């Protein structure tokens, strides 16, 4: 027989067990500290992340520190403004709380976003001044970079030298601004500029061949995009016959193959940027955007002109080969 006293003890036991269960498994009694994950998406202007290795490292670092879940999106085809816009909308629809974009075409993006805003914070990477539609921007003055490279080339080579401007035919805002600055600076210095659009076999090789035959002539090559720069370096590495006529190879980029080509002497001078910091800052601003604490911000990062010897300098080594 169970006495009243025993019943009470059992009931107290039962209530205590239930309370303990509720306390440990639910938020009803003890509120567990919330540790929200911030889904952010990064949409770049290219179809591969080859030029974004350090940028991604910086982004991953910020994601780890700030508990962000970063989706890094490359386009199906490079430089497709329409596709980039679709990707941004897709990511927003899929739950991204903030977006980072390296725009293919700022004008097209602005027009599209004016017509139909994304309604989530948008961080611009390498835009041309903080646009209306963007909540924040992390950028390098690409036009100034072009001017500075033009100045370096002008300082090293006589104005009688022909300059071949190699580019892959893909139109992006960044490349456009770089070319503008470069042309401005080199035209002022009196250089003759020849544009060569194409790729390694269809364009660049022919242009280099034309330096050797029928008449021998010298030229300086400046690549407007990192892919063309790397392809030029590869051509020079493979074919010794072009080398006497190419008086210098210049461009921009920070990928490992580009830096290796600089180190091996196939590239003469290079404009580089701190991509790790750019990636870190973009992710950080995006998380601020997702938290609702982002204020309109414009961060300008410096660029540097380096030659082979500078690769061994600790400050560039740290910047170009970041350790996560």
Partner 1 sequence: MKGTRGRFGNIKRFWKTVCLFCLLALVCAGCGGSEKAEGLPSVRIGVSLYRGDDTFINNIRGELEKRAKAYEQETGVKVHLDIQDAKGSQNTQNNQVERFISLGCDVVCINMVDRTNVSIIIDKAMAAGVPVVFFNRQPVEEDMNRWDQLYYIGVDPKESAVLQGSIVADLYEENPEQVDRNGDGVVSYVLLEGESSHQDSVIRTEWSVQTLKDSGVPVEKLTGGIANWERSQASALMEQWLKEYPGRIELVISNNDDMALGAIDAIERAGVSGISLVGIDGTVPGNEAVEQGTLLGTVASDKEEYAGVMMDIAIARARGEELPEDLVLEEGKYYWVSQEIVMKKEK
List residues binding partner 1 (CB under 8 A): 1-2, 7, 10-11, 14-15, 18, 21-22, 25-28, 37, 48, 69, 71, 74, 76, 90, 93-95
- Name which of 95 and 302 has its Cβ closer to partner 1: 95
Q: Whose CA is closest to 99, among 157, 162, 39?
A: 39
- Residues 69, 72, 76, 79, CA torsion sign: positive
Residue 76 CB, nearest distance to partner 1 (Å)? 6
What's the closest the beta carbon of residue 55 comes to partner 1, in angstroms?
15
Cβ distance to partner 1 smaller for residue 47 or 144: 47
Residue closer to partner 1, measured from CB, 62 or 148: 62
Name the minimum Å distance from CB 27 to partner 1: 5
- Which tokens in the block code for residue 292? 């609702």
CB-wise, 1 or 215, nearer to partner 1? 1
Rounded-to-integer distance, Cα 37 and Cα 66, Å: 8
Burial label for 49, CB within 10 Å (0-12, 13-18, 19+), is middle
Pick between residue 2 and residue 115 the one whose CB is nearest to partner 1: 2
Nearer residue to partner 1 within complex by CB, 1 or 115: 1
Integer angstrom CA distances of residue 218 from 69, 102, 156, 255 = 51, 36, 14, 28
Smallest gap, in angstroms, from Cβ of residue 200 to partner 1?
13
What does each C-alpha distance from 288 to 139, 280, 315, 316 come to in angstroms?
A: 18, 12, 29, 29
Q: Which is nearer to partner 1, 216 or 324 (CB)?
A: 324
Residue 166 near residue 134 (C-beta atoms within 8 A): no
* DSSP for 120-161, written as a single string: S-EEEES-SS--TT-SEEEEE-HHHHHHHHHHHHHHHS-TTS
End-to-end CA distance of the chain: 70
CB-based contacts of 308, cutoff 8 Å, min separation 6 = 262, 263, 265
As measured in angstroms, the least distance from the Cβ of 255 to partner 1 is 13
Torsion of CA 95, 97, 98, 103, to 10 degrees: 20
> In terms of CB distance, is 186 or 235 closer to partner 1?
235
Strand partners, 199: 203
What's the min distance (Å) between Cβ of 263 and partner 1?
14
**Smallest distance, Å, CB 25 to partner 1?**
5
Whole-number minimum distance, CB 82 to partner 1, in Å?
14
- We find the least distance from the C-beta atom of residue 105 to partner 1, in angstroms, to be 21
Q: Could you tell me which residues come within 8 angstroms of residue 247 by beta carbon, excluding any fewer than 6 positions away?
A: 157, 161, 218, 219, 220
Q: Is the peptide bond before 214 cis (omega within 30 degrees of 0)?
A: yes
Which of residues 98 and 182 has its CB atom nearest to partner 1 in the complex? 98
């Amino acid at each position: 027989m169970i006495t009243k006293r025993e019943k009470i003890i059992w009931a107290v036991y039962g209530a205590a067990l239930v309370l303990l269960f509720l306390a440990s498994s639910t938020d009803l009694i003890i509120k567990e500290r919330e540790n929200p994950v911030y889904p952010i998406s990064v949409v770049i202007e290219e179809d591969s992340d080859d030029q974004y290795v350090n940028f991604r490292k910086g982004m991953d670092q910020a994601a780890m520190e700030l508990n962000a879940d970063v989706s890094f999106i490359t386009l199906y085809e490079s430089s497709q403004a329409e596709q980039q816009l679709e990707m941004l909308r897709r990511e927003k629809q899929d739950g991204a709380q903030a977006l980072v974009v390296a725009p293919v075409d700022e004008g097209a993006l602005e027009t599209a976003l004016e017509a139909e805003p994304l309604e989530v914070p948008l961080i611009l990477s390498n835009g041309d001044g903080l646009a209306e539609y963007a909540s924040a921007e992390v950028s390098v003055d690409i036009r100034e970079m072009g001017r500075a490279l033009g100045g370096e080339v002008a300082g090293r080579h006589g104005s009688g030298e022909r300059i071949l401007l190699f580019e892959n035919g893909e139109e992006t805002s960044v490349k456009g601004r770089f070319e503008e600055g470069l042309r401005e600076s080199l035209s002022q210095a009196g250089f003759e500029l020849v544009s060569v659009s194409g790729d390694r076999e269809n364009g660049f090789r022919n242009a280099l061949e034309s330096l050797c035959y029928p008449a021998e002539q010298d030229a300086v090559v400046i690549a407007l995009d990192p892919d063309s720069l790397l392809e030029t370096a590869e051509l020079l590495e493979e074919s010794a016959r072009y080398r006497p006529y190419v008086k210098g190879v210049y461009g921009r980029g920070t990928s490992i193959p580009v830096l290796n080509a600089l180190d091996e002497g196939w590239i003469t001078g290079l404009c580089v940027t701190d991509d790790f910091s750019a990636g870190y800052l973009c992710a950080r601003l995006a998380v601020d955007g997702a938290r609702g604490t982002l204020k309109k911000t414009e961060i300008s990062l410096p660029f540097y002109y380096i030659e082979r010897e500078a690769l061994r300098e600790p400050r560039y080594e740290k910047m170009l080969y970041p350790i996560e």
